[in-house]
Amino acid sequence: MAGGNVERAADLVELTIATAAEAVRALSPALVARARRDPVVAWQVEVFWRSLRPLVASFVLVLGLACAWAFAGITIRENALAREITATQAQIAAEEAKQTQLEASAAEKQTADYIVERARSLGWVWPWEAMIAVEQVRADQNAASDASSRPSRIQRWIALFFGSR
């Protein structure tokens, strides 16, 4: 009896290897038909596909993570490029405004009125004009002369409380 069980176990192992090989070849119509007829083959195919579920789930997970990583990388690069484009457009606008201001300044400086005004600010005069220098009295000399002609503080307090005498 014991020998029969060993032979049967060996036959089952051979059968399992053979059916696993058949299942790996793909779901051929012959395998499907055999699995419908033989419950052991059906069970072996089911066990084989169940053993592949964690592998397939891991593959799908890795594929999903790879897609998410790629999408995140593309999004990050796109946002960086958008910020760079915005900064460059702001620089262009600032440079255009500066250019407009410089063109306006150059046009103003080419007018005769600006040239005459600038020459006058530098002290130039027309040949028919004469320059007159006016001497101004310093403010500290005026303050010193005013302070000596005014009455002292004590005299002003006495005049305030007791009247002028």
Domain residues of the chain, as ranges?
2-162
Global pTM exceeds 0.75:
no
Taking CA atoms, 66 is separated from 28, 54, 69, 74, in Å, by: 32, 18, 5, 12
Dist. CA 32–CA 46, nearest whole Å: 11
Terminal CA-CA length for the chain: 155
Give the tens place of pLDDT for each residue, 31-76: 666 767 777 777 776 777 777 788 888 888 998 899 999 999 999 9
Q: Which amino acid is at 29?
A: P
Please tell me the predicted confidence (pLDDT) of residue 73: 93
Task: Report angle CA 145, 151, 156 to the nearest 5 degrees.
Answer: 145
Q: How confident is the model at residue 1 (pLDDT cuts 50, 70, 90)?
A: very low
Give the tens place of pLDDT for each residue, 110-159: 999 998 898 888 888 787 877 677 777 776 665 556 666 777 888 888 88
CB neighbours of residue 10 within 10 Å: 10
